[in-house]
Structure 1
Amino acid sequence: MDIHEYQAKDLLTRFGVQVPRGGIAYSPEQAVYRASELSGDKWVVKAQIHSGARGKAGGVRICSSEEEVSDAATWMLGRKLVTHQTGPQGKLVSRLYVEEATSIAHEIYLGFVMDRKLERVVVVASAQGGMEIEEISEQEPESIIRSVVDPAVGMQAFQAREIAFSLGLEPPLIAQAVKTIMGCYRLMAEMDANMVEVNPMVVTQAGEIVALDAKVSFDDNALFRRPEIAELRDKSQEDTRETYAEDRGLSYIGLDGEIGCIVNGAGLAMATLDMIKMSGGEPANFLDVGGGASPERVLKSFKAVLNDPNVEAILVNIFAGINRCDWIAEGVVLAMKELELTLPVVVRLSGTNVEEGRKVLDDSGLPVITADTLAEAADSVVGAWKDAKFKEAS
């Protein structure tokens, strides 16, 4: 789960990380009021969306008057901001963060990420801040600093000092840098975060280290024990298809194709997507229905898949172990009747109670296309989808 910049900064301050003063605004009038509260003669108006590269899309503006603050807020609010991370659909700007401008002397990149391969938190830093880490790796690979944290003891002060010295900071700044690095790590460890990124972390003209921007992502599986974090969720920034499925306990990732997939097991689901592409189609989603799926859960899966208006055919691919093919078949029949489906549905069943499952489908009298193998199922659903497209065009 991602959160907004202003929420991330609020959390960072709890762990001793210094951030610029600022306030949230939902209208141009409120943005101007926030600027007047902060005083000064220069402010930064930032669109709050779950995406990087906001500045390049016009979502971050430096303003020198209250009139400019109002104009910037008017332009941003209600607009769908399109960045290279949002895709062409963009993300709606419904709130702004107005903060005091910072006089920057130097920018630094600082990130904490969970390395699944190492099973460790890895600190990534660079003296070349202000860019995405991918750009830094490509343009300044020698500037990348990495430090692995031992989970048995956590982040140690000497590691933070090593990172600070490697960044080329002046001696008077080392203590501030250590405090910032340790604070970011504590946030990640104590709040079940997957990633904490401060980019840029800046050295100001006044000789202070400040987190100028921040991104924090959390482990969805740990939200049950972090209700205060779960409350920060903004569903308007998420893929509506994925939100719908997640709220119903389904593992779903939306894609850009036309063939919906309902599969059990992540590995089989990935193989199914590959086979659809090899057969000439494009999958619309990844969906793992899970083990022990009841007919009602299968119905929920159909609804989640059909929540995508681009879906024009559905492939159900089940290799039953914990699952039972007859339950899956009953769910397919229930879904086709209740949802009155007219698009092609291909079902491939294998494993526990497979004969009973096939009998359920055969006795239903519904136009379900069955297949014995994954390759056959992929060819069948792509062929049925193309036939349906041809008939529609004709």
Structure 2
Amino acid sequence: MVKLAEWRGKEIFRKYGVPLPPGRVARSPAEAEQWVRDGRVPLPCVIKAQVLAGGRGKGGAVRFANTPEEVRAAAQAILALEFKGERVREVLLEGKLAIGKELYVAITLDRSARVPLLLTSSQGGVEIETVEDSAIVRQPIHPFPGLAAYEKRRASQSLGLTGAAGKALSPLLDALWTAFNAEDAELIEINPLAVVGEGLVALDAKVIIEDDAGFRHPGYSEIRDDRTPLEEIAREKEIAFVQLDGDIGVIANGAGLTMATLDVLTEFGGHPGVFLDLGGTDDPAKVSEAFLLMAQARPRAVFLNIFGGVTRCDTVATGLVQAMGQIPPAERFPLVARIRGNNEVEGIEILRRAGITALSSLKESAQSVVAAAQGPAAAGGHA
């Protein structure tokens, strides 16, 4: 898949007529200031880091400015950031709008039903994963007739839109549907979709393109936005490594156990972030290399969940302890381990000697790492 940065997603939105705030991309503080002084971006404005990871607002990667001097200073600060392992190289400047309400709209693929799916929620502006399932309306879209009028009316009702704003939703959904098909997208998401006056404006854009359709879209061939810099490094080292938006790192072996671990952490209120799948690897050097790569993403806590079949628990533990010694004290984080199976007694002993919390219960270990990620008072060994 090809994940597009926000500004690239908005270029697609603009192409198909989705309403957007006035904005420009800048790659230096001087360029950012010049866009404002030229009147291309009105003041006050917002300056946003162009990275793939979420949580930019909380992480200091989104700032507001009222003067050209403030714009330059904000751009300089953001361009100096390394956000969740990704160096910020571009910022998007957009005029600040008077927002009446924030909504959520997306079109994606329902792989089980094998049809596109329209998602709407009146609770926009937050991570959709945190929204109660009952607050999200899902409507399958028949791929041949496309979006029907009654489906758009239902979407409008689910968003609580009336009057001019309600009427504005229909052409916006038509534009998203056209873009979704024409660009061979896996996901087109607006979060938030803002009610501004009597109209609607897309304040953010998340677009993922199906890379198997690349032959129809040669313009995407040079875009490398689909992987973060850390994911690129992991790919070169042949490490199964994925960056999500959460703050808990996960190390497991096997795709099934890895996905189950993410589900368990979410069940107990955690937010899984970087995860890596060791597969059948138990080479201490490879484990150490993978762990140090994860450390660069700066998780708040890490959960090691290993079931030793082919994989030996003691050699995984040895690699982990070796990696811990290479992490500077100021950059260390809580680490909780659950290892079962081949040589688990030896592995647990290695970890405990290194001061790492090792528990046999999945429930207890998951709860422990979630607590560790939520505050410094939580129990748990530290890397």
- If asked which structure has higher relative contact order (CA below 8 Å, sep 6+), I would say 2
The number of equivalent residue pairs is 286
Q: Which of 112, 115, 119 lines up with 1:120 in the alignment?
A: 115
Partner of 1:64: 66
Residues 384 and 126 of structure 1, relative CA distance in 2, 3 Å threshold: closer
Q: For residues 50 and 63 of structure 1, what CA distance do their matches in structure 2 show?
A: 23
1:186-245 CA-to-partner distances (Å, cap 9, x unmatched) read 22222121111101111112x221101111112233324322223333355451245437
Amino acid at match of 2:149: A
RMSD: 3.6
Structure 2 match to 1:344: none
* 1:58–1:156 distance in 2 versus 1, CA, 3 Å: same
Whole-Å separation in 2 of the counterparts to 1:254 and 1:40: 37
Assess if the C-alpha contact under 8 Å between 2:41 and 2:94 holds in 1.
Answer: no
Rounded to whole Å, the distance in 1 between the matches of 2:179 and 2:51 is 21
Q: TM-score, normalised by structure 2?
A: 0.64
Once the two structures are TM-superposed, the CA of residue 19 in structure 1 deviates from its matched residue by 0.6
Letter in 2 for 1:377: V
Aligned counterpart, 1:160: 152
1:31 alignment partner AA? A
Deviation at 1:173, TM superposition (A): 2.4
1:208 counterpart (175, 199, 202): 199
Query: Structure 1: any 5+ residue segments left out of the alignment?
Result: 83-89, 262-268, 275-282, 289-300, 313-373
Give, in whole Å, the separation in 1 of the partners of 2:19 and 2:89.
26
Task: Determine the C-alpha separation between the residues in 2 that align with 1:19 and 1:29.
Answer: 24
Q: Deviations over 1:39-88 (max 9, x none)?
A: 53311111100022211111111211111111111111131124xxxxxx
User: How far is 1:309 from its partner?
Assistant: 2.4
The one-letter code of the counterpart of 2:255 is: M
Once the two structures are superposed, the pairs formed by residues 285-300 of structure 1 within 5 Å of their partners are 285=277
Q: Indicate if the aligned counterparts of 2:121 and 2:137 stay in contact, CA closer than 8 A.
A: yes
Quote how far apart the aligned CAs of 1:254 are. Answer: 5.3
Q: Secondary structure at the match of 2:123?
A: coil
Task: Tell me if the contact between 2:9 and 2:207 (Cα under 8 Å) persists in the aligned partners.
Answer: yes
> 1: CA distance between counterparts of 2:251 and 2:129?
31
Aligned to 1:50: 52
Matching of residue 377 in structure 1 with residue 310 in structure 2: yes
Provide the residue aligned with 1:222 in structure 2.
Answer: 213
What TM-score does the superposition give when structure 1 sets the normalisation length?
0.63
| CA separation of 1:68 and 1:272: change in aligned 2, threshold 3 A | closer
Which has the greater radius of gyration? 1
Q: Give 1:389 deviation, angstroms.
A: 8.2
Q: Percent identity?
A: 26
Residue in 2 aligned with 1:298?
Answer: none
Matched to 1:35, the amino acid is V
Match in the other structure for 2:255: 270
Per-residue deviation at 1:285? 3.3
Match of 1:326 in 2: none
Deviations 1:337-368 (A, max 9, x none): xxxxxxxxxxxxxxxxxxxxxxxxxxxxxxxx
1:321-336 matches, within 5 Å, as none
- Relative distance call for 1:149 and 1:271 in structure 2 (3 A) is closer
Q: Deviations over 1:135-175 (max 9, x none)?
A: 222xxx54322211112322223322321233221222233
CA distance in 2, matches of 1:102, 1:114: 31
Secondary structure of the corresponding residue to residue 58 of structure 2: helix
Offset of 1:134 from its aligned partner?
A: 2.0
Q: Distance between the aligned counterparts of 1:243 and 1:376, measured in 2? A: 25
* C-alpha separation in 1, matches of 2:209 and 2:115: 16
Unaligned 5+ residue runs, structure 2?
A: 244-248, 260-274, 293-306, 326-349, 351-383
Q: 5 Å matches for 1:1-394?
A: 1-37=2-38, 38=40, 40-82=42-84, 90-137=85-132, 141-205=133-197, 207-234=198-225, 237=229, 239-244=231-236, 252-253=240-241, 270=255, 285=277, 309-310=289-290, 377-379=310-312, 382-384=313-315
Maintained 8 Å contact 1:111/1:123 = yes
Q: Distance in 2 between matches of 1:242 and 1:391?
A: 19
| Inter-CA distance 286–178: structure 2 relative to 1 (3 Å threshold) | farther
- Paired residue secondary structure (1:2): strand
Q: Give 1:18's aligned amino acid.
A: P
Letter in 1 for 2:35: R
Tell me: CA distance 1:238–1:153, structure 2 relative to 1, closer, same or farther (3 Å).
Answer: farther
Once residues 149 and 388 of structure 1 are traced to their aligned partners in structure 2, the CA distance between those partners, rounded to angstroms, is 49
Q: For residues 219 and 165 of structure 1, do their structure 2 counterparts lie closer, same or farther at Cα, with a shift above 3 Å needed? A: same
